[in-house]
Amino acid sequence: MAIQVRILPAPDLYLRDPQDTELGRRILSTSIRLMDELGLEAFTFKKLAKELSSAEASVYRYFSSKHQLLLYLVSWYWDWVHHLVNQAIAGEPSPIARLRAAVSALTRPFIANPGVPYIDEHLLHQLVINEGSKAYHTKMVDQENNKGLFLGYKNLTAEISKMLLEINPDFSYPHSLASSLFEMAHNHPYFAEHLPRLTDLKKSKHLSEELDEMLWFWVTRLLGLSLEVPQSQNVVDRQIE
């Protein structure tokens, strides 16, 4: 069944919300594909407009620059991941089971959701792995942070941090561990694909499962848990489907 989802990025991330118009939605879907194909450096609004068979000025009615567009896509992505985490932990009976489900949600490649037809979540996931850090590794990061442009990432970090502290209230580094889990979930698949000597994971169809095991290993060791925590029922159900 399609899940009807409406992600609402911060208003400073656009000039006109692209989700409100047919052209705007096409800008989102086409930019994800083209940016992933070309890379951020080679991607331009001129090339995007050509793919859309539209005027370049039409793109500028929605976004002031490709950096703002990337910020929008990355923000949309983190809000979507937060939604997936909330889905994964719903109904889990214990703090450990909720954390286990959340970690698994972070490491599964996301599939397209029919409820958001103009966003290919799987391709967006790949784009964020390859280009996402360029959204905040910039000279303008402090000014953009003051405008609340990274709230999606920070809210998800706060959610995972809360789960960590539910299990171990004395743990000193909940935000550091949460953000590290996100970065590892993105960096290590990239390393496995392109820089294999930087990771112990191997490029294979089982990469997501191996990444899940690796992240859970770090979580259990740092929190002082047994590695053999029963697997989340939500995760088991997804594997059976």
Q: What is the percent of the chain with per-residue pLDDT over 90, rounded to a whole number?
A: 81
Residue 227, pLDDT score: 62
62: in domain:
no
| CATH (domain of 80) | 1.10.357
Buried b (16+ CB within 10 A) or exposed e, 45-71: bebbbeebeeeeeebebbbeebebbbb
78: in domain:
yes
Q: Give the domain extent around 91.
A: 72-240
57: in domain:
no
Arithmetic mean of pLDDT over the chain: 90
42: in domain:
no
The identity of residue 142, as a single letter, is: D
Answer for the pair 209, 195: CB distance below 8 angstroms, yes or no: no
53: in domain:
no
9: in domain:
no
100: in domain:
yes
The pLDDT tens digits for 193-213 are: 999 999 999 999 899 999 999
Residue 232, pLDDT score: 52
The pLDDT tens digits for 103-153 are: 999 988 777 677 788 999 999 999 999 999 999 999 999 999 999 999 999
Question: Could you give the number of structural domains in the chain?
Answer: 1
233: in domain:
yes
pTM of the predicted structure, to 2 decimals: 0.89
